[in-house]
Amino acid sequence: MKQILNFINGEFVATERHFDKISPQTGQKIADVHEASKANVDAAVAAARAALNGPWGRMTVAERVQKLYAVADGINARFDEFLAAECADTGKPMSLASHIDIPRGAANFKIFADVVKNVATEFFPMETPDGKGAINYGFRAPIGVVGVICPWNLPLLLMTWKVGPALACGNTVVVKPSEETPQTAALLGEVMNAAGIPPGVYNVVHGFGPGSAGEFVTTHPQVDAITFTGETRTGEAIMKAAATGVRPVSLEMGGKNAAIVFADCDFDAAIEGTMRSVFANCGQVCLGTERVYVERPIFDKFVAALKQGAEGLKLGRPEDASTNMGTLISKEHQNKVLSYYQLAVDEGATVVTGGGVPQMPGELAGGSWIQPTIWTGLPENARVMKEEIFGPCCHISPFDSEEEVLQKANDNAYGLATAIWTRDVSRAHRVAQRMHVGLAWVNSWFLRDLRTPFGGSKLSGIGREGGVHSLEFYTELKNVCVKL
C-alpha cells in the first residue's frame, strides 16, 4: 500500500497513526496517510522558524527567485506524476487537471517570484528645518512562519497559490493539506529538495481539523500568520484561533455564486461558459455558479440548451480522454450533495435533469459519482437558493429587469464571484460594479490573471491575494526614515 508521509525539515517523516485515503472513483483504499502528532507539528514549526532565521532568511531576492523558478521547473519535469496523484486523490478528469491544476501549480511559483522581483515600494523625500531633508522608504519584511490550511477541490493549485507568494516574500511555511488530498503536497517536498530549497522552508503535516494537525498549526504560538481556503464555518474557527496572539489571517471561503444572462448575450458563449461554471470539477469550485438568472425572452431556450449540455457530459475514469466529469471527493460529500438534491424536490423544484446517482460499470460502482443536475421553479428564499452545495448543480430563474436581477443575485450571505453575459458594455460595467462580490467576470468565467486581486466579500472571506495584494499579506511593510 502506498505510504504518504509528512515532510518536515527537508525529510519524509513516518508516524504511528495512519488514516486511509479512499479513491473517490472506486471507494477502495489507495494509500495510508501518516497523521502528524502535536510533536510532529511542533517540529515542523521549529524547522520553519530555524530556516526563516537561517539560510532562507539570509538569501538575496535574486537567489530566492532562482530557487522558486527551479521549483516550477521541477513540477513541470514531473508533470505526469503530479497529474496522476492529483487525479487519484480527487477523481477529476486528466483533461481538466492537465490544463488547470498542474500548470497553475508550477505557475504560482514563477509568477509570484516575478512579482517580488519587480515590485517597488513607496518613497517620500521630506523637507526638514535644517534644509538637509530626509528620505522615507517602505521596506517589506517577511511576516514569518505561515500556516497554510488547504481544501481538497484544487489541491495543488490552491496550496501553491499560497505557498508560492509566501516563499517568494521570504517566509517559511507549514502546510496542512486536506485529509482528502494529501498526495501532491507530499510530492512537492521531493521537488523542493531537488530545487535546493533549504530544509525547513516548506513543511507538510497531514491530518484533520479539530484535535489534529489543522488545529495544532492554527493554534501554534510560533505560527505568525494563517492563510486558509475552505468552508466558511472552518474559517470562523480559524479566525478565533488566530485571535490569540493577534495574528493576521487571510480567509478564502465558500460561495453561492450567481450568473446573470441578459437576452442580448452571445448565446452560445453564455451556454459554454455556464456549462463550465456549473459542472467543471464536478461543481466543486468555489467560484462556480449555483444560481443562474436568465432574462425572460431567452429563458426557455437557455434551460433547454443547458439541459442538453448537462445530459451530454461523459462521466468516467480520469485517464479516459473523453471524460469531462469526474466524481465528488468522497462518499460523505456525495451524501451532502444528495441531501440537497432531495431538499430541492421537497422545496418544490422542477427537476429539469439529473437529481440522483448514475449507474457506473464495474469497480466504478463503488465511487462517489453524481448526476449533473438542473432545477427551475424555486422561490428565492428556498434553502437550495441560499446555501452552498458544492456539487454539479444549478437552479435557473427568469428575470425581467436589471434592478430585479441585481436585487435577487445580491440577496445572499456569500459574495465571492459572478459571471455576467451581455453585449451591452455599459450594462456590463454597471452590473459588475453593483454586484456584492470580490470577482466579477463579463462574458467569461475563471479567466484568471494572477496579478489581479482575488478574494470574497461577506461570508466568502476577508483579505485579497494575487499580485501585489499577496505581498500585502505575506510581508510587513515598514517605514525607514533617514535624515540626510
Q: Show which residues are catalytic.
A: 252, 286
Strand locations in 113-241, DSSP E?
Answer: 123-126, 134-142, 145-149, 172-176, 202-204, 225-229
Contact call for residue 286 and ligand 6OD (CB under 6 A): yes
- Taking the C-alpha atoms of residue 398 and residue 438, their distance in angstroms, rounded to an integer, is 24
Is the Cβ of residue 270 or residue 285 nearer to ligand 6OD in the bound state? 285
Of the residues 77, 237, 313, 360, which one makes contact with ligand NAD according to CB under 6 A: 237
Per residue, what are the HEC states of 138-151? EEEEECCEEEEECC
Binding partner of residue 161 among ligand NAD, ligand 6OD, none, CB under 5 to 8 Å per kind? Answer: ligand 6OD
250-269 positions binding ligand NAD, by CB under 6 A? 252-255
If one counts every other C-beta atom within 10 angstroms of the C-beta of residue 231, the result is: 17
CB 281 within 8 A of CB 92: yes
Is the Cβ of residue 158 or residue 163 nearer to ligand 6OD in the bound state? 158
Is the Cβ of residue 183 or residue 376 nearer to ligand NAD in the bound state? 183
- Taking the C-alpha atoms of residue 201 and residue 324, their distance in angstroms, rounded to an integer, is 37
Residues contacting ligand NAD: total by CB under 6 A: 32
Contact call for residue 102 and ligand 6OD (CB under 6 A): no
Contact call for residue 327 and ligand NAD (CB under 6 A): no
CA gyration radius, the chain: 23
x/- site string to ligand NAD, residues 414 to 433, per CB under 6 A? --x-----------------
Of the residues 9, 25, 218, 397, which one makes contact with ligand NAD according to CB under 6 A: 218
Tell me the closest approach of the beta carbon of residue 73 to ligand 6OD, in angstroms.
Answer: 21
Contact call for residue 234 and ligand NAD (CB under 6 A): yes
Q: Comparing C-alpha atoms, which of 372, 367, 337 is closest to residue 24? A: 367
Name the one range near ligand NAD by CB under 6 A: 80-88, 93-101, 176-184, 439-447. 176-184
Of the residues 78, 140, 307, 448, which one makes contact with ligand 6OD according to CB under 6 A: 448
CB 22 within 8 A of CB 330: yes
Edge-first strand listing for the sheet containing 29-34: 2-4, 29-34, 18-22
Is the Cβ of residue 204 or residue 286 nearer to ligand 6OD in the bound state? 286
Name the one range near ligand NAD by CB under 6 A: 30-38, 152-160, 264-272, 475-483. 152-160
CB 16 within 8 A of CB 194: no
Tell me the closest approach of the beta carbon of residue 71 to ligand NAD, in angstroms.
Answer: 22
Residues contacting ligand 6OD: total by CB under 6 A: 9
Give the three cell numbers for residue 350.
422542477
CB 100 within 8 A of CB 165: no
CB 376 within 8 A of CB 384: no
Of the residues 262, 454, 473, 474, which one makes contact with ligand 6OD according to CB under 6 A: 454
Contact call for residue 278 and ligand 6OD (CB under 6 A): no
267-296 positions binding ligand NAD, by CB under 6 A? 286
Name the one range near ligand NAD by CB under 6 A: 14-22, 209-217, 261-269, 374-382. 209-217
Provide long-range contacts, Cβ within 8 A and 24+ apart, for 117-121. 117/61, 117/62, 117/65, 119/468, 119/471, 121/477
Tell me the closest approach of the beta carbon of residue 175 to ligand NAD, in angstroms.
Answer: 9
Q: Comparing C-alpha atoms, which of 25, 27, 24, 28 is closest to residue 1? A: 28
Tell me the closest approach of the beta carbon of residue 220 to ligand NAD, in angstroms.
Answer: 11
If one counts every other C-beta atom within 10 angstroms of the C-beta of residue 308, the result is: 12
- How many Cα atoms sit within 13 Å of 38 on the Cβ side? 7
- Taking the C-alpha atoms of residue 216 and residue 226, their distance in angstroms, rounded to an integer, is 12
x/- site string to ligand NAD, residues 361 to 400, per CB under 6 A? ---------------------------x-x----------
x/- site string to ligand 6OD, residues 142 to 161, per CB under 6 A? -----------xx---x--x
Q: If DSSP codes are grouped into helix, strand and coil, which group holds residue 273?
A: helix
Tell me the closest approach of the beta carbon of residue 387 to ligand NAD, in angstroms.
Answer: 10
Strand partners, 55: none
Is the Cβ of residue 51 or residue 159 nearer to ligand NAD in the bound state? 159
What kind and span of H or E run contains 373? strand 373-376
- Output the residue with the shortest Cβ distance to ligand NAD: 209
- How many Cα atoms sit within 13 Å of 344 on the Cβ side? 30
Name the one range near ligand NAD by CB under 6 A: 116-124, 186-194, 342-350, 455-463. 455-463
CB contact burial 124-155 (16+ within 10 A = b; e otherwise)? eeeeeeeeeeeeeeeebebbbbbbbbbbbbbb
Strand partners, 353: 374
Is the Cβ of residue 13 or residue 471 nearer to ligand 6OD in the bound state? 471
- Taking the C-alpha atoms of residue 445 and residue 424, their distance in angstroms, rounded to an integer, is 17
Give the binding site for ligand NAD (CB under 6 A): 149-153, 158, 176, 178-179, 208-210, 214-215, 218, 229-231, 234, 237-238, 252-255, 286, 388, 390, 416, 456, 460-461
Give the binding site for ligand 6OD (CB under 6 A): 153-154, 158, 161, 285-287, 448, 454
